[in-house]
Structure 1
Amino acid sequence: MNIITKTATSNLKRNKSRNILIGIAILLTTLLLTIVPTVVFDAIDMEFVAVNKAYPTFHAMFRNVDEKSAEEMQKDERITKVGLREDPAYMVCSNPDVNISMVYCDANAAKLNRLKLKEGDLPEKADEIVVSRHLLKAMGLEGEIGDRITVPFQAVEDGGLGMEQVKEFTITGFSKDSKATIEKGIYSAMVSKAFTEEIIPEGAHKYRVYFRIAGPERMTTDAIEAQIKEIGEEYKLNATDIVDNGEYLNANYVDPAMYSGMAGLMVIIVLAGIITIYSIYYVSMMNKVQEYGKLRAIGATKRQIRKLVFREGFAVALIAIPIGLALGSLASILIVHGMLDTSTGVSNSLAKYMREAVESSEVALIKPWILLLAAVVSLAAVYLSLVRPMQVASKISAIEAIRYQGQGSKKKKAKERKGYQELNTRKLTMSNLGRNKSRTVITIVTLGITGIFFMVVATVLSCMTPESMTTQDIRGDVSISIDFESGNQMHPERELYKIQQNNPLSEELKEQILAIDGVKEIEVQTTAQAAIQEVLEEGKPMETFPTGIEDGALEELKKYVVEGSLDDAKLKDGKGIILNSNGFLLSQSGKGFNIGDKVHLDIKDGEDSVSREFEIVAITKHAPYSLAGYDISLPSSALQELCKNNLTDRYNIMAEKGKAASVTKAVEALVENQEFLDIDTYQELYKQAETQIGFMMYGCYGLLFVFGLIGILNLVNTMINSVYVRRRELGMLQAIGLSGKQTVNMLQLEGLFYTAGTLVLSLGLGSLLGYLAFLWAREEGIMSIRTYHYPAGPAIILVVVVLLVQLLITYLVNLNFKKSSLIERIRFAE
């Protein structure tokens, strides 16, 4: 062992407290660099394995494809494995909550959709069928393979359903129903091509075409999606009829957005680590320059000084990094298993395959390349943090190094030092802070960056709430709405305008609900069934459902208006309407509408029809559907005045605090025998929303916790070094009359200065950047973020934690300071 290594080893032992602090900083950075990519890529790998086991393997699907186009697609060299599907009919079930489609799939479509029978064979003849046992039960039928069953059905006719027909089928096989299928009552029976040709006239077939892009191996998901869109447009398909299999594409091809996003996250973590470690080394090691100056004085070369600084720093890193990698790996495994145990962030169908992938070691939870990357980046951060101290210690002369106080090595013109006629603790504090401005600025900026990042993430998380997702679909605690069905020729009585002729949402029912103990208020929404002449769908005016909004809800809607005004007189006069930019008319139909444009609606009023011209007076953006409707809205009174029938479509029931559960039970009992009424509860939808955003909250708060530890560590380092390197100076001040109380006061003022600077940056710039992050998330529609919520709770926690840490550090440092005598303090030298 040479003299440089011996000296570095000796320094490690002598400066334990400082090196422990630096080691913890390196450990936390390594921990973060290990956990984040490991958990993210584990989740991605598990989901991709699950997707490839559970999801269909087609790249895209075209809907509403006519026979001629379908034949051309099967010959198109740009696409392969083209499969056809058609839904020619629907079974007639006595239970209105059960939906049973009769589906034809050719061999390619069956393979691309992973259609596998539980037993038996696919149908070939017109009177053959594949069913599930739950389907038979729902239809009130019984049978085994080879048995004959009689099935009532309605054929699809011109976008609607025709009159009831009855046909006898032979069961050729049984399919398996998922848990979700059974719960929702949505089943499918498989029929043959011969059956479709029997009930659908030639030239009237509408297919779903499944296919894979030819030669996708070296293509990105963006390139595949672009080609899918291009092909669909060539066949003159509407944008809404071009559907890519996004989950499968992302699982099997390079997604630039995903990897660029991960790269951005890693850069943030790396920068945070480098800045934190650099700050700790900068603050603590610049006071070691005097020691290195003594070594220069006794003959050490510049190269030897650089080696000494380098070896001492890397010795700490070589101890801390392996510990960080080990703890990061353990934490990652625990987090991933926690995600799987709660199925957080994934659908139940995928969770099963994800668990199997982990249990069978199909997905490796610990990835060597991530550990190597984390180690290399941590070492690089340590090296970059040592560059400045190595330069300072090696470039200046021995005398300058001994006298060095951290101001830099550049010679500057001497300035007259300004003193004070009277001294107090505030002036002494400011003098110390101003004596090394670069250290003060770097400390505040470094702490501030951590706080800014904390506030940005906390802002996004505070806006990403289950409440905002739940209120997208429901207002109030309980919602009763008309359960209608459009286009069913067999059951025209289920049309909205038919139900409204004898509307079950009557004034009598409203009074009964208001009489329930705990009901505070009922908000009434109206809806009409209409057709808009300006937008065509299959050559006919598109069906739409304008929503009538009460005055209170209209007032609430004002904050979502981006063009026009809700105070326009035309709105109350029944001549103006509001468009929701998130609805079909503006976002998907391709039809452009602007303020002042005229639209013509044919509104169904029972058996009559009312035609009216309206002017668009306002356009809303990001408004929840439960408030603004899906496309068109106007005042409820104005909509109702156009029709003689009761247009009430929904009762939004607000319950008194603590009585939502009892109100829900009472309302359910009141409407349980009503055929055309459906009920939703806030609590049920809230739980669903909570599950959906759980994964995001889980990961982000974990990330914030580690970043918070790094920030606190930085503050600890700054305060300790600021006091300990001045022990001699403080001892001399006490020798000439500085009291213990004044010493504590001075230390507290210095800590409060760092704290104030940190909080100004964190709460000021952090809040501004957090708001910009909210605007971006709202524009992108991330997790139904719609309304800005300032993260008051996290902001208060940030302030309290920083203040408590600062006060605790001041107390502990002063306590330790008192242990040494005044003579020892004056003679102190690190």
Structure 2
Amino acid sequence: MKAVTQLSKKNLTQTRSRSILIGISIMLTTALLTIIGLSCNGILKMNSHNSSVLYGDFHAAFTGISEEKKQEISVRGEIEKAGSMSSVATVELGKASGVLSYYDQNARAMSNLKMTGQSRIPTGENEIMAQKSFFKKLMKKKPKIGDTVTVPYRINGEGTVLRKKFTITGFLPDSEMNDLKQAYGAVVSKEFFEKAVPVEQRSYTLCVKMKKADKVTENGLKESINQLAEKLSIPEKNVSLNTIFIMWDTDPGAETVAAGVFIAAVVILFSIVVIYNIFYVGMIQKVQEYGKLRAIGMTKKQMKQMIFREGMILSGISIPVGLIVGYFGTDLFFTKIAGFSSVNESINEAIANTQLFSIPVLAGAGILSLITVCLSVKRPMQIAAKVSPVEAVRYQENTGKKKQKRKGCRQVKLIGLTRANLSSNRKRTLMTILTMGLSCVMFVTIANLCGNMDPAYEAKKDVKKGDFYLTLDTKLDDKTYPEKNLNRVQEQGLMNASVVEKIKKIDGVTKVETGKWAAVKVRGNEEEGTSVIQILSKKDFNAFVKSGLERGSADYEQLVKESGTVYLWDHFFDENGYHIGDKISMDLLDGERKVPLTLKITGSANAHLEASWAMTEETFKKLRVKGNLTSEIYISCLPEKKTAVEKQLRNLTGGSEFYDLLSYDDAYRTAQLGIGLLRDSLYALLFVIGIIGFMNMANTLITSIVTRKKELGILQALGMTNRQLARMLQMEGLIFTAGTLLISLTFGNAAGYMLFLKCKDTGMIGINDYHFPMAEILVMAGILLMLQILLSAFMSRKLQKDSLVERIRYEE
């Protein structure tokens, strides 16, 4: 037994270059398994431990809750704790908007309300806390704690504008997203809330955390919340589930478990295939040497033991190193993610504070690598044990029992030599191409998703055409200040022909398009209140409505013929009691004049428009409306004039509080912030997959060259030049690259397209139109090609350092 171990050690020492290569391969694969395992465990741990910080410590939020209903909910036995908050008033901030809100102690804790510096929660009637940007809209100087500020507000967004002096008690964290949207929040005290809002007018949002059984599932908890809401007579539309927190706060449902098992199985299977191929390629060439040992008396069992111990010795050295490298690699990986994300400081903090070290995961990665090595040496062990001593001495890879005829050639060409080498080692060649192809399939699949996450699509939801979108910022049902309602603001002529002409004359403006809105009241459906109907041309109807049609028809000619309309919020179509084919009666508000109209519902869509209804221009013209209902203007300009045009537009619209100007660039930046973290995380995963592909390719090319050192020396002795040798090695690498690309492009794009369709159906941000991820695939192909050329050139130069005689005398 001791002699077998000594033989294993000696063999590894004599074939040092190959042993180092196999050891590095095992180490790198172990490191990658460790990175995958620790990363997944870190993400699970981060979300499990920080889910309440990241997503709020509540399972659901009930909106529109009265004071009486609030008391009833707070004593329910199904509820562990509840926190109440209320939007007390809206704030007049010029072009920006603000909200004064009250949070009780539970709500502050459950929603993770954060403060900066020496801030404290407002307790007095005249105390306030908000973002610094909020105060800058109201003060001429830089706000400090203890300063007083006069805030203009309207209780519940209605009634007269009141003004009150508040003392600043602290600041909420500033947010780039709030600055882009020009929307801010402020916190006031309970005393102010109770004095400002009568009991009968109070409307709360209740954050609710349910009592749950030890093994309650995600689906079970959701069902419990919906049942509670039904018992409390809370409408379904007023129930908002905190789905991400529910997922991490419960035992995962069947779908989550199935998804986790599937991902784990794919990673493990892929890792086994990669390690098996690497070890097989390295070990199979030794069979002839082992045959010599069989010829001098070594038994089959001893042969197996010797090969097995070689694998175990290499694993014993490489796996611990791989675990160490993998741990530090994971630490760097998580740090990079924290650096990428600037959208949410809480996420950054949670990632940075996540404890990545996990003995069970490290042990699991080590055991998995060890088992994989055991499986990898099984085939070489069987080959060496089965052959007779005479056959073993003359063993060549892929030698079978079937007799083969040797084919000769009149001329020996490089391509013929390359083909002969790859075909004689057919199994190794196919296994290498397959494993490299699988890693690249994963790359192409994810690239199909990443490459189609388009912030421009999200931005187009806000600015559908041009570079700037100018619209009217109005109310619809303001009874205290009716002059702020859409129909009354339209009477001011803020978007009449003269305004449009002024915009057209701005230096740099290339195109101006207008759109019409009208305020309407649907008869017999008073709950819906005043809504908006948009008047669209055929071009815009097809672009904005027809593309988002969910049911019915949006054929423009049909709508013109039948005086039809399309409902634009399909999610609420059934809830509001509408049906395709129904005729609805409306009053269109033309200033203070009502214009009756009857329209037929032909379809329902999700169109991402500000309006609830859409009608054709031809139908609108029949109504003989007197007023100018232009309510939106799209402005296009020269790229180099964009800044100057925006300045002119803001000067032009600065005289009225009802103008709202949004630039496409601002909308694009907002979308980028939302997409950024998800895309960066996926590209980090692609980086890991890329390492797997490179490691496998490098191992195969280097092993192939090292094991043929004597053969290549003989070829050069017969007349092959160094340049021809380099070209032959490069051609071999090109064949590996071509096969890899063929597999990855065929299967990767098919899987990627299916993933794209699934994500589109779920409404993932930025996913709409599919396009082939050409840039990502060209980068992948370029990197594979470059690495193979560099490896071939490196090995060619290394071979040339040895003299021809040394290469011919080389023994593995």
What do residues 721-767 of structure 1 show as CA deviations (whole Å, max 9, x unaligned)? Answer: 44444455556666777777766555444433322221111122212
Q: Structure 2 CA distance, aligned partners of 1:178 and 1:812?
A: 54
Q: State whether structure 2 residue 682 is matched by structure 1 residue 700.
A: yes
> What SS does the corresponding residue of 1:419 show, helix, strand or coil?
coil
Q: Provide the residue aligned with 1:230 in structure 2.
A: 227
CA apart distance, 1:562: 6.6
The two structures have a TM-score, normalised by structure 2, of 0.84
Q: Are 1:512 and 2:502 counterparts?
A: yes
Which runs of no fewer than 5 residues in structure 2 stay unpaired? 140-144
2:455–2:766 contact (8 Å) kept in structure 1: no
Give, in whole Å, the separation in 2 of the partners of 1:688 and 1:151.
28
SS in structure 2 opposite 1:484? coil
Give the CA deviation at 1:14. 3.0
1:485–1:251 distance in 2 versus 1, CA, 3 Å: farther
Q: Distance in 2 between matches of 1:102 and 1:689?
A: 27
Structure 1 residue 779 corresponds to structure 2 residue 752? no
| Counterpart check, 1:391 vs 2:388 | no
Query: Does the CA contact (< 8 Å) of 2:508 and 2:645 recur in 1?
Result: yes
Alpha-carbon spacing, 1:520–1:541, altered in 2? closer, same or farther (3 Å): same
The one-letter amino acid paired with 2:513 is E
Using the alignment, how far apart are the partners of 2:23 and 2:509 within structure 1?
A: 60
Counterparts of 2:41 and 2:121, CA distance in 1: 40
1:711 aligns with 2:674: no
Q: How big is the shift at 1:195?
A: 4.6
Q: Do the aligned residues in 1 keep the contact of 2:520 with 2:588 (CA within 8 Å)? A: yes
SS at match of 1:691: helix
Identity, in percent, stands at 29
1:329 maps to: 327
1:495 aligns with 2:485: yes
Aligned partner letter, 2:665: Q
* Within-5 A mapping of 1:628-639: 631-635=612-616, 639=620
1:314-340 alpha-carbon deviations (Å, 9 max, x no partner): 333333333333333333333434444
When residues 562 and 428 of structure 1 are mapped into structure 2, their CA distance, relative to the original with a 3 A threshold, is farther
1:241 maps to a residue whose letter is N
CA distance in 1, matches of 2:685, 2:399: 36
1:609 to 584, 594, 598: 594
TM-score, with length taken from structure 1: 0.82
- Deviations 1:649-675 (Å, cap 9, x if unpaired)? 322322323333332233223222321
Give the whole-Å Cα distance in 1 for the aligned partners of 2:390 and 2:619. Answer: 89
Secondary structure of 1:463 counterpart: coil
Cα distance 1:496–1:726, how it changes in 2: closer, same or farther (>3 A)?
same
Asked if the contact 2:52/2:110 (under 8 Å) is kept, the reply is no
Q: Go from structure 1 to structure 2 and tell me whether the alpha carbon gap of 1:613 and 1:790 turns closer, same or farther (over 3 Å shift).
A: farther
Alpha-carbon distance in 2 for matches of 1:101, 1:377: 56
Tell me the equivalent position of 1:522. 512
1:792 is displaced (CA, Å) by: 1.0
Report the equivalent of 1:417: 405
Tell me the alpha carbon deviations over residues 195-233 of structure 1, each in whole angstroms, 9 at most, x when there is no partner.
5898355xx765444433123554344332221122213
Report the Cα offset of residue 569 of structure 1.
1.0
Q: Read off the aligned partner of 1:12 and give its amino acid letter.
A: L
Matches of 1:776 and 1:828, distance apart in 2:
56
The CA deviation at 1:241 is 0.5
CA distance in 2, matches of 1:739, 1:670: 77
Equivalent residue letter for 2:452: C
Partner residue of 1:291? 289
> Which of 428, 438, 451 does residue 439 from structure 1 map onto?
428
Please report how far the alpha carbon of residue 515 of structure 1 lies from its aligned counterpart in structure 2 after TM superposition. Answer: 2.3
**Could you tell me how far 1:541 is from its partner in structure 2?**
3.6
- 1:692–1:301 Cα change, 3 Å: farther
Question: Where do residues 707-746 of structure 1 align in structure 2 (5 Å cutoff)?
Answer: 707-729=689-711, 746=728
TM-superposed CA distance for 1:629, in Å, is 5.1
Name the structure 1 match of 2:32: 32
Distance 1:28 1:655, change over 3 A: farther
Q: Distance in 1 between matches of 2:122 and 2:565?
A: 55
Distance verdict in 2 for CA 1:620–1:241, change over 3 Å: closer
* Amino acid of the structure 2 residue aligned with 1:529: A
Matches of 1:452 and 1:388, distance apart in 2: 27
Alignment check: 8 A CA contact 2:476 2:531 kept: no
Q: SS at the partner of 1:288? A: helix
Q: Go from structure 1 to structure 2 and tell me whether the alpha carbon gap of 1:722 and 1:327 turns closer, same or farther (over 3 Å shift).
A: closer
Q: In the TM superposition, what is the alpha-carbon distance from 1:121 to its structure 2 partner?
A: 8.5
1:455 Cα shift?
0.8
CA distance in 2, matches of 1:443, 1:564: 53
Alignment correspondent of 2:269: 271
Is the CA contact (8 Å cut-off) linking 2:122 and 2:128 kept in structure 1? no
Q: How far is the alpha carbon of 1:166 from its aligned partner? A: 7.5
2:369 pairs with 1:378: yes
1:184 maps to 2:183: yes
| Alignment counterpart, residue 740 of structure 2, candidates 738, 758, 781 | 758
Native 8 Å contact 2:63 2:206 kept in 1:
yes
Number of matched pairs: 795
Structure 1 residues 755 and 94: alpha-carbon distance in aligned structure 2, compared to 1, 3 A threshold: closer
Alpha-carbon distance between aligned partners in 1 of 2:458 and 2:136, rounded to the nearest angstrom: 35
Moved more, 497-506 or 547-556: 547-556
CA contact (8 A) 1:26 1:277 kept: yes
- How far off its partner does 1:778 sit? 1.2
Provide, for residues 325-367 of structure 1, a one-character-per-residue CA deviation record: whole Å limited to 9, x for no partner.
Answer: 333333333343444456x16523565x548x83xxxx42433
AA matched with 2:770: Y
- Are the counterparts in 1 of residues 538 and 556 from structure 2 also a CA contact under 8 Å? no
Q: Measure, in 1, the Cα distance between the counterparts of 2:91 and 2:419.
A: 85
Alpha carbons of 1:715 and 1:637: their partners in 2 closer, same or farther (altered >3 Å)?
Answer: farther
Instruction: Render the CA deviation track for 1:277-298: whole Å, top value 9, x for unaligned.
Output: 2111222221111112222222
- In the other structure, the counterpart of 1:311 is 309
Does the Cα contact within 8 Å between 2:128 and 2:189 map onto a contact in 1?
yes
Confirm whether residue 282 of structure 1 aligns to residue 272 of structure 2: no
Shift of the alpha carbon at 1:775? 1.0
1:468-490 Cα offsets, whole Å, 9 max, x none, are 33223223322222111233322
Q: Which amino acid aligns with 2:532?
A: F
- For 1:23, the aligned partner's letter is G
Structure 1 residue identity aligned to 2:235: N
Shift in Å at residue 719 of structure 1? 3.0
Query: RMSD across aligned C-alpha pairs, in angstroms?
Result: 4.4
Counterpart of 1:547, as a letter, is Q
One-letter code of the match for 1:187? A
Q: Which moved more, 1:673-682 or 1:185-194?
A: 185-194
Q: Could you tell me whether the CA contact under 8 Å between 1:547 and 1:633 is conserved in 2?
A: yes
Comparing 64-73 with 437-446, which one deviates more in the overlay?
A: 64-73
Inter-partner Cα distance in structure 1 for 2:641 and 2:78:
61
What are the within-5 Å matches in structure 2 for residues 123-202 of structure 1?
131-132=128-129, 161=158, 163-164=159-160, 177-179=172-174, 184-191=183-190, 195=194, 199-201=198-200
What SS does the corresponding residue of 1:756 show, helix, strand or coil?
helix
Measured in 1, the distance between the counterparts of 2:111 and 2:615 equals 43
Counterpart residue number, 2:142: none
Provide the C-alpha distance between the structure 2 equivalents of 1:337 and 1:114, rounded to a whole number of angstroms.
24
**Residue 241 of structure 1 is aligned with which of 215, 238, 243?**
238
Contact 1:548 1:637 in 2 (8 A): no
> Which shifted more, 262-271 or 57-66?
262-271
Q: Distance in 2 between matches of 1:533 and 1:388?
A: 80
- Greater CA drift, 51-60 or 238-247: 51-60
Using the TM superposition, give the Cα deviation of residue 73 of structure 1 relative to its aligned residue in structure 2, in angstroms.
Answer: 3.4
Q: Offset of 1:456 from its aligned partner? A: 0.9
2:427 matches 1:448: no
Describe the shift of the 1:192–1:793 C-alpha distance in structure 2 as closer, same or farther (beyond 3 A): same
Shift of 1:444: 1.6
